[in-house]
């Protein structure tokens, strides 16, 4: 059998140069880019199957208010990194893939590294009922690649909303949130299932709007570090530690 890595590498090598140039431009201009067909369908299907089966077998509800991000809500079902890692399946192969990381680095015009904090490597999140949301926040690390396993219905909420080029004032998150939301335009692209988006997530204030009715949204969240993240002493992990207190050992 051809390995995940070789299939991904061959597929990526065939992405038209002009399309890659458009992705680069979009990321440069918007700090977000929606990427179609990053994987061949056989790998995309395998990753989708793994994510849906994981939610079914291991999904745990998260219902809390995050103090560190200014009191914003989290309401969704999720599966943490260690449970996913045990299966050593397509999601792990995706994260470990050098070919994928190299391609994303080209789009971002800087190097992406595997995140040096293991609980954030990859996570499956699923908004499953009306009102489910992943409230406003910034990420700890520079890059997030979100794979859309199940997109919500087009008109039923659950979109990513974001304001790029904003700074997380960790001393007063609530006030920073209020200021940006009052003064800046919120962008909300629709991400179809089977595609993914790369976001500059540590300087984009973002959330997943509440589901508005009977629909579902399931994603795989991959986190990558920039070169400067690797030596940045201000990066902390309080958000992860609060959401995943039962899984993340606090050191």
196 counts as binding ligand AKG under rule CB under 6 A: no
The SS3 call for residue 115 is coil
Strands 133-137 and 160-163: unpaired
Q: Which of 89/119 has CB closer to Fe ion? A: 119
Q: Which of 11/200 has CB closer to ligand AKG? A: 200
Q: At its nearest, how many Å lie between Fe ion and the CB of residue 19?
A: 26
Question: What's phi and psi for 159, nearest 5 deg?
Answer: -85, 155
Q: In which element (H, E) is residue 189 found?
A: none
Of all residues in the shown chain, the one whose CB is closest to Fe ion is 139
Of 40-48, 95-103, 134-142, 170-178, which part binds Fe ion (CB under 5 A)?
Answer: 134-142
Alpha-carbon gap, residue 207 to 133, rounded angstroms: 8
Residue (of 224, 179, 180) closest to 201 by Cα position: 224
Binders in 208-227 for ligand AKG, by CB under 6 A: 208, 219, 221
125 counts as binding ligand AKG under rule CB under 6 A: yes
Alpha-carbon gap, residue 51 to 193, rounded angstroms: 13
Q: Which of 31, 120, 132, 139 contacts Fe ion by CB under 5 A?
A: 139
- With CB under 5 A as the rule, give the number of residues binding Fe ion: 1
Tallying the residues shown for the chain, one arrives at 251
Which partner from the list Fe ion, ligand AKG, none does 120 bind, CB cut-off 5 to 8 Å by kind? none
Alpha-carbon gap, residue 246 to 168, rounded angstroms: 26
Q: Which of 11/207 has CB closer to ligand AKG? A: 207
Q: Which of 44/146 has CB closer to ligand AKG? A: 146
The DSSP call for residue 157 is: B
Q: Which of 9/153 has CB closer to ligand AKG? A: 153
């Amino acid at each position: 059998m051809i390995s995940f890595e070789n299939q991904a590498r061959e597929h990526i090598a065939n992405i038209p140069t002009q399309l890659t140039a458009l992705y680069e431009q979009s990321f440069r201009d918007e700090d977000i880019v929606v990427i179609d067909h990053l994987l061949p369908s056989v790998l995309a299907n395998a990753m989708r199957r793994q994510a849906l089966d994981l939610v079914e077998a291991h999904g745990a509800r998260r219902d809390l208010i995050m103090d560190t991000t200014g009191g914003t809500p989290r309401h969704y079902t999720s599966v943490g990194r260690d449970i996913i890692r045990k299966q050593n399946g397509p999601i792990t192969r995706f994260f470990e893939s050098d070919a994928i990381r190299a391609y994303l680095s080209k789009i971002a015009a800087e190097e992406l590294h595997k995140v040096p904090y293991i609980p954030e490597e990859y996570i499956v999140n699923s908004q499953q009922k009306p009102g489910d949301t992943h409230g406003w926040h910034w990420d700890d690390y520079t890059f997030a690649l979100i794979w859309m396993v199940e997109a919500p219905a087009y008109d039923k909420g659950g979109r990513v909303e974001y304001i790029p080029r904003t700074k997380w004032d960790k001393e007063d998150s609530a006030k920073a949130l209020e200021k940006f939301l009052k003064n800046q335009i919120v962008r909300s692209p629709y991400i179809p299932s089977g595609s993914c988006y790369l976001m500059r997530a540590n300087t984009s204030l973002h959330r997943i709007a509440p589901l508005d009715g009977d629909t579902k949204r399931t994603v795989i969240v991959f986190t990558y570090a920039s070169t400067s993240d690797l030596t940045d002493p201000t990066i902390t992990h309080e958000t992860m530690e609060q959401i995943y207190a039962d899984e993340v050992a606090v050191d």
